């Protein structure tokens, strides 16, 4: 059923038809983009599970094939590096990678038009970036430190932009940041000015950057979906007047 639902959402993006859904737009936009780039024309109805795709080019959307294949490989590499960072053990990293490779749930999820593999990619990316940033604690404000801190913020925005369950990794990174700042505050060799720089860097990279990227996703969402569709009724008349094909299109709406 989920493949039917998210496949239809991807079709809406291909057709630029406005809709309303409970999930943030990033994952569905990536599915729609994969379908568009692979030649899918957005005409398959996705009415019920089990319908045959027949001549429709669904390969790009089903698994966002190229994207999810790359994501799976990156997730394995990231998880391995993460284990090396945390345990400093090559056997542990290899064991973890093999467990993930042969996990039946991951294999099943990667075969269908679902948001979960994309979400897992950003979740793992956020955790890895956080761990790598912690490993650069001895060289704060260096290029690598800024890179991993900023990448953590980017992955947080990606996780939240796919599903709201991504807020759990935001909580994890937030607790790690609070612990880190508390430890820095207790370091008597650091001045309050330096501590203020640490605090400002984390506000910029872990709060403002994810918020800007998250907002930008919705800007792209509303720009792409400019035609009237099944989601019109959830929004105001002023908004509906901007949708091509709506009865209120280009009608002057009083403030």
Alpha-carbon gap, residue 136 to 144, rounded angstroms: 7
- Opening angle at CA 223, ends 205 and 17, nearest 5: 130
Tokens, residue 9: 């959402």
Neighbours of 27 (CB within 10 A): 25
pLDDT in tens, the chain (255 residues): 666 767 676 778 888 888 888 889 998 898 888 888 877 776 777 777 777 777 776 666 765 544 455 455 555 665 666 566 777 777 777 777 777 777 777 767 777 777 888 888 888 889 889 988 998 989 999 999 999 999 999 999 999 999 999 999 999 999 999 999 999 999 988 999 999 999 999 999 999 999 999 999 999 999 999 888 888 888 888 888 888 888 887 777 666
Alpha-carbon gap, residue 15 to 218, rounded angstroms: 17
Of 186, 202, 44, nearest to 133 by C-alpha is 202
* Domain boundaries defined on the chain: 2-241
């Amino acid at each position: 059923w989920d493949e039917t639902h998210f496949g239809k959402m991807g079709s809406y993006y291909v057709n630029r038809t406005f809709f309303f859904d409970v999930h943030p737009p990033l994952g569905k936009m990536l599915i729609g983009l994969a379908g568009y780039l692979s030649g899918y024309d957005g005409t398959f109805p996705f009415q019920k599970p089990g319908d045959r795709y027949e001549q429709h080019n669904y390969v790009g959307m089903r698994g966002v094939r190229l994207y999810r294949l790359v994501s799976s490989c990156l997730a394995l590499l990231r998880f391995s590096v993460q284990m090396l960072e945390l345990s400093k053990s090559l056997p542990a990293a290899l064991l973890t990678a093999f467990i993930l490779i042969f996990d039946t749930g991951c294999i099943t999820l990667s075969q269908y038009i679902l948001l979960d593999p994309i979400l897992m990619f950003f979740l793992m990316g956020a955790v890895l970036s956080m761990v790598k940033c912690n490993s650069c604690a001895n060289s704060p404000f260096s290029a690598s430190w800024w890179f991993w801190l900023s990448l953590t913020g980017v992955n947080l925005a990606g996780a939240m932009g796919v599903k709201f369950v991504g807020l759990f990794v935001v909580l994890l990174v937030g607790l790690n940041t609070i612990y880190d700042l508390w430890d820095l505050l207790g370091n008597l060799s650091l001045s309050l000015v330096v501590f203020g720089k640490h605090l400002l860097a984390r506000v910029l990279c872990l709060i403002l950057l994810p918020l800007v990227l998250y907002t930008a996703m919705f800007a792209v969402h509303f720009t792409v979906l400019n035609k009237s569709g099944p989601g019109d009724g959830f929004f105001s008349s002023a908004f509906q007047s901007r949708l091509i094909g709506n009865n209120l299109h280009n009608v002057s709406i009083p403030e």
